[in-house]
Amino acid sequence: MRTTRKETDTVQIGLIGLGRMGSNMRERWRSAQIDVIGYDYISPDSDVPSLEDLVLALPTPRIVWTMVPAGEATRKTITQLADLLDAGDLVIDGGNSHYTDDSDLAEHLAARSIGYLDCGVSGGVWGKQYGYGLMVGGDSNDVQRAMPLFDALRPQGLRDEGFVHTGPVGTGHFAKMVHNSIEYGLMQAYAEGYELLLSNTDLMDTTAIMRAWTKGTVVRSWLLELLVSALERDPQLADITGHTEDSGEGRWAIEYALSHAVPATTLANAVFARFRSRQPDSPTMKAVSALRQQFGGHATQPRPTSA
């Protein structure tokens, strides 16, 4: 039986997706006295057995937040929600969807008088403890309606230091895309600096040098602190390989830069560096080596023969 929410009722939300981010967000909301009903079709921590049960458990008007993989999974989930929710309900997509997908999703829901917000969420596995940075696109009235949820997720302190209403639908995910591409560039810069330090055998302690940069210097940042933490456990990073995946936002940012003639060279190089990391032997550099031999007779390094 469906109930109607009263003004004095506890804030309630349905959360779809209980992976690392989703489950931590659920706990942070609950610690702020927000009633969260979580659903995940593969997680044993799901509070309800189905999407239909999630919708039935929420009083109207409902707010449902999705934290599922970008692309088809998000489109399928929101399409299913459109058939289950009522006019006046609100859907918030907090995953890393492509910003161009948002307008189609919003239009599909709007045809049923259901609201839609796109929310870029940053904070990773540390967000539960320190709070999440939030970038929200959509109608101002819908943003204000969901503000108790945003306030519970964001870091303590001034709202505008951890939350922003970015503009119309799609701009929240666009801002998150740019945020993640900057993250790519920052990580690449710190990593190249680490390798430069490591190459100088006169330096006594590479980790100590980078640790000394974490306070007072112009390159201090939380990412640097995380790198130092990793190096303290494994100074040579001997336990891992350099193979590095990308989750898509960096590529999308470069595609946008190309189509709008924005010279995002550092961000592009950071994405390409990840591609190189997955190559056991670079076809590009083999071709360069072959060309040097062809035009100048320069020596090449033969591939070792197997024993």
Q: Which secondary structure element, helix H or strand E, spans residue 295, and what is its range?
A: helix 283-296
Spatial distance between the Cα atoms of 167 and 153, rounded to a whole number of angstroms: 20
In order of 126, 187, 276, the CA distances from 222 in angstroms are 11, 11, 26
Q: Is 176 a catalytic residue?
A: yes
Task: Please identify which of the residues 183, 195, 245, 255 carries the catalytic annotation.
Answer: 183
Going by C-beta distance under 8 Å and a sequence separation of 6 or more, which residues neighbour residue 10?
Answer: 33, 34, 35
Q: Which of 72, 128, 176, 286 is catalytic?
A: 176
Tokens of 153: 């997720």
Q: Kindly calculate the radius of gyration of the chain based on its CA atoms and give it in whole angstroms.
A: 24
Q: Residue 36: in which H helix or E strand, if any? A: strand 35-39
Q: How far is CA 265 from the centre of its chain?
A: 21
Alpha helices by DSSP H, 121-248: 127-130, 140-145, 147-153, 171-199, 206-212, 222-233
107 noted as active-site residue: no
What are the C-alpha distances in Å from 18 to residues 38, 59, 176, 215, 272?
7, 21, 20, 36, 31
Structure tokens at 54: 């999630």
Catalytically annotated residues: 176, 183
